[in-house]
Amino acid sequence: MPKIGLEVHVHLNTLKTKLFCSCSSDYINKDPNTNTCPVCLGLPGAIPVLNEKALTYAIMVALALNCEIAPALVFSRKHYFYPDMSKNYQISQYDGPGSMAVAKSGVLEITNKKIRIRRINIEEDPAKIIYPTGSMLTSKYTLLDYNRSGIGLLEIVTEPDIESPKEAREFLEKLRSILEHLGVCNCDMEGAMRADVNVSVEGGERVEVKNVGSIKDVENAIKYEIARQKAAIIQGLKVERETRHWDSERGISVPTRTKETDEDYRYFPDPDLPPYPISKDLIKKITAEMPELPDARVKRLVEQYGISRKEASILVMDKALADFYENTAKLYKDYKKLANLILNDYLRWLNDKNIRASESRATPEAIAKLLSLLDKGVITIKIVKEVLPEIVLKGADPDQLIKESQLTAIRDLEYLEKVVEEVIKEDKDAAEAAKNDPKVINFLVGKVMKRTGKRADPQLTNELIRKKLGV
């Protein structure tokens, strides 16, 4: 059984400024190296000052993950010689002599299992490394953009309790939902949630795959590493302790360096940032102000809207999707029908186009209107499914879309009776079988729907077929 641990790096991108300076935290799409100052560049004489909101966010996450919170916030210097941190050290935290993480010993429960949280650290992000002429392995030279340098990060480290790629995915999806419900991170932003993946199989050393940028890539990287390490052991090769890079385009990991130990980083308390006390009163205040968390929201959705726990859990996995459901439910009161449409059809289009609910162009008003037209018999369920992608992907108005496309339901008895007669005449075997098997009637209804461009009223069509066959 493989052992898997994750080090999840979460951008505190809802903060207004970086972690230790007044530079804006909105660094996306800015000209390279323009969102910087002497502090985040580590110039001589520059003194860091803590963004206190970052501590509030860290405590919120720690409480949500059932962690023990430290009595003080202590920062350490983590030394390394890579160029993405211009001062040659990163302001981070270290759980050791004279230092401590902001929180430790937590737990996050997934399906039938608890994943232990070893610690949560607050730290600054390094610069973004750019490979202009290819990948890390093929580019002829490297560029550095320090706009990201100094952005506040939470490092959430698990124990090696994860045993499969599927469990890793479920853990990350639930963690993302918690972060979004707390409002500490907009996880849709590029690089907002990354993970270092530690994988080992029996007979080999632990291998770390660095900076995996999406939940899907984490799952794929774990699958690849398990297969690679097992294959090496079967061939009698030794799996060394090392750090590897995930190449998402090729779907493989490649070696980068021998894995460092904590001693290599030469941690010591940062002399510019004295310990910051974390009082019990501060923790009580933050606890009282915490927003509704995913597990509590799932329970409320079941009680308030009468949907199943499974349906509520899928909605809450993406906060924007759950928000969309609840906002639409204010306008349309058949909550189960609404949940069915969102989870079976709306969500399918999001997944097909690889977009999240926050990127959808549909409005609650449009979905409520679409379902109301269905209830009134103006359109059929087939038409609902046909026009939904236009609403989700382009923000189309249901009334206008249906009018322009002439998609209203056909309820003309004379016309439908004529089509029913034609279908029965053309497929006499099915018509005969339908007299003894009601399921075959649905087959005949489908043929009428196809002939009428999905516009025939299915219930009325069913009644006409039964009447014609005498069943």
Q: Are 104 and 119 in contact (CB under 8 A)?
A: yes
219 or 384: whose pLDDT is higher?
Answer: 219
The Cα 193–Cα 448 span in angstroms is: 50
d(C-alpha 383, C-alpha 387), whole Å: 6
What is the per-residue pLDDT across 17-60, written as a single tens digit (0 to 9) for each?
Answer: 999 999 999 998 899 999 999 999 999 999 999 999 999 999 99
DSSP letters of 417-456?
HHHHHHHHHH-HHHHHHHTT-HHHHHHHHHHHHHHTTT-B
Identify the pLDDT of residue 412: 53
Residue 263: pLDDT band with limits 50, 70, 90:
low
Give pLDDT tens digits for 128-150.
989 898 877 788 999 999 999 99
Adjacent-strand bridge partners of 17: 24
| Non-local CB neighbours of 384 within 8 Å, separated by 6+ positions | 341, 345, 370, 371, 374
Of the listed ranges 249-253, 274-278, 299-303, 309-313, the one predicted with least confidence: 249-253
Q: φ and ψ at 145, to 5 degrees?
A: -115, 110
Q: Given this model, what pLDDT does residue 262 score? A: 62
For residues 172 and 465, the model is more confident at: 172
- Return the residue matching tokens 């926050």: 358
**Residue 322, H or E segment:** helix 319-329
Q: Which CATH class is domain 413-469?
A: mainly alpha
The pLDDT value given to residue 229: 96
Q: Which two tokens stand for residue 123?
A: 């730290």
Task: Check residues 310 and 436 and name the one with the higher pLDDT.
Answer: 310
Mean pLDDT of 443-463: 73
Helices (H), 117-162: none
> CA-to-CA distance for 126 and 150, rounded, in angstroms?
6
| Per-residue pLDDT at 383 | 82
**Taking 90 as the threshold, does the pLDDT of residue 114 lie above it?**
yes
332-344 average pLDDT score = 96
What DSSP assignment string belongs to 251-310? TEEEEEEEPP-GGGGT-EE-TTS--EE--HHHHHHHHHTPPPPHHHHHHHHHHHH---HH
Of 150-159, 200-209, 407-416, 429-438, the range with the lowest mean pLDDT is 407-416
**Three-class DSSP category at 187:** coil
Span of 341-355, 363-377, 427-441 with lowest mean pLDDT: 427-441
Residue 363 has pLDDT above 90, yes or no: yes
pLDDT confidence of residue 446: 78
What is the pLDDT at residue 415? 61
| Radius of gyration from C-alpha coordinates of the chain | 28
Confidence of residue 454 (pLDDT cuts 50, 70, 90): low
**Segment (H or E) for 320:** helix 319-329
Q: What residue type is assigned to position 87 of the chain? A: K
Question: Does residue 404 have a pLDDT over 70?
Answer: no
Q: Which helix (H) or strand (E) holds 327?
A: helix 319-329
d(CA 54, CA 49): 12
What b/e string do you get for 376-398 counting C-beta neighbours within 10 Å, with b at 16 or more? Answer: eebbbebbbebbbbbbbbeebbb
**Where along the chain do its domains lie?**
3-286, 294-405, 413-469
CB-based contacts of 374, cutoff 8 Å, min separation 6: 380, 381, 384
Span 408-452, pLDDT tens digits: 665 656 666 776 777 777 777 777 677 777 777 788 777 777 777
pLDDT of residue 438: 72
Q: What is the pLDDT of residue 58?
A: 98
